[in-house]
C-alpha cells in the first residue's frame, strides 16, 4: 500500500497488550517474519466474522499470530506447525507464558510432512498459510482436504512488498520466490473448487473459500 496509508492505518490501530507489543518489537529487532500489524488486524476481523472453532496454521514463527488469533476467537483451538527448531522453542515459551498451551498445540517439523500425520477426519474452519513462500501451492494442496465445507483458507504475503505486481523491480535474491508467488496467485484465482479474493492490505492477503 501507499506509505502514507500504511502510516495512517498503523497510527489508528488499537493498542496491543504489552506481551504482544513485546513480541512485535522482538520480531523487528531480530528480523523474525511475523504478520504485519495492519494485516493481522484485518485477519482478526475476518475471524470475528467467521467465528472458527478449529484453526490450522502453517508457519508458527514465535507464536505471534496464533496468540493474536485467540484475541478474536478466545474459545478456538489452534494447531500450528513450525519447521525451525529455535522458533519452535520460542513459540512454546511465548505460548506457555500466556497460559495458552491448552488451546495452541505447536507441532515441530516440515509442514509438508506433518500435514500427512494429522487425523484424516480432523477438519478445520480456517487454515492460515504463512510459511515458505515458494511452497505455498503445496501447502494449500495438502491442507485443503482438512478444510470443512464452509471453511476458508487465508494466505499471507501474496503480494510480497509489491514485487509480485512489478517483478522487474524485485532484487535478484527475490526474483525466483516472487515468480513462484505470482504462479500461486494465478493458480489460486482459477482454482476449480475455490473462490479467492486478494486484498492489498499489508503484504497482501488471499482469502479462499470453497465453492
The binding site for Mg(2+) consists of 130, 156-157
Binding-site residue set for S-adenosyl-L-methionine:
35, 65, 82, 110-111, 130
Nearest CA-CA partner of 152 in 69, 77, 209, 194 = 209
Read off the C-alpha cell for 63: 507464536
Q: Rounded to 10 degrees, what is the CA torsion of 49, 146, 144, 62? A: 70
Q: List the strands of the sheet with 54-58, edge to edge.
A: 104-108, 77-82, 54-58, 124-129, 147-156, 205-210, 194-199
Length of the chain: 211
132 vs 135, 156, 174, CA distance in Å? 6, 11, 13
Q: Can you tell me the distance from the alpha carbon of 172 to that of 153, in angstroms, rounded to the nearest whole number?
A: 30
DSSP secondary structure letter of residue 87: H
Binding-site residue set:
35, 65, 82, 110-111, 130, 156-157
Residues 60-77 as b or e (16 or more Cβ within 10 Å = b):
bbbbbbbbbbbebbeebb
Amino acid at each position: 500500500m501507499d506509505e502514507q496509508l500504511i502510516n495512517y492505518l498503523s497510527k489508528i490501530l488499537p493498542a496491543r497488550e504489552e506481551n504482544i507489543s513485546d513480541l512485535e518489537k522482538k520480531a523487528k529487532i531480530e528480523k523474525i517474519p511475523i504478520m504485519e500489524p495492519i494485516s493481522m488486524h484485518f485477519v482478526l476481523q475476518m475471524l470475528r466474522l467467521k467465528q472458527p472453532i478449529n484453526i490450522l496454521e502453517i508457519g508458527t514463527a514465535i507464536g505471534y499470530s496464533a496468540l493474536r488469533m485467540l484475541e478474536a476467537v478466545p474459545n478456538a483451538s489452534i494447531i500450528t506447525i513450525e519447521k525451525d527448531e529455535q522458533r519452535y522453542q520460542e513459540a512454546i515459551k511465548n505460548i506457555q507464558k500466556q497460559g495458552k498451551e491448552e488451546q495452541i498445540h505447536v507441532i515441530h517439523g516440515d509442514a509438508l510432512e506433518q500435514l500427512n500425520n494429522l487425523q484424516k477426519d480432523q477438519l478445520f474452519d480456517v487454515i492460515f498459510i504463512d510459511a515458505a513462500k515458494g511452497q505455498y501451492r503445496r501447502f494449500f494442496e495438502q491442507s485443503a482436504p482438512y478444510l470443512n465445507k464452509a471453511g476458508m483458507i487465508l494466505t499471507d504475503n501474496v503480494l510480497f512488498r509489491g514485487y509480485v505486481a512489478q517483478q522487474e523491480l524485485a532484487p535478484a535474491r527475490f526474483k525466483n520466490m516472487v515468480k513462484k508467488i505470482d504462479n500461486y496467485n494465478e493458480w489460486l484465482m482459477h482454482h476449480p473448487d475455490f473462490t479467492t479474493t486478494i486484498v492489498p492490505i499489508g503484504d497482501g492477503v488471499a482469502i479462499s473459500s470453497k465453492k
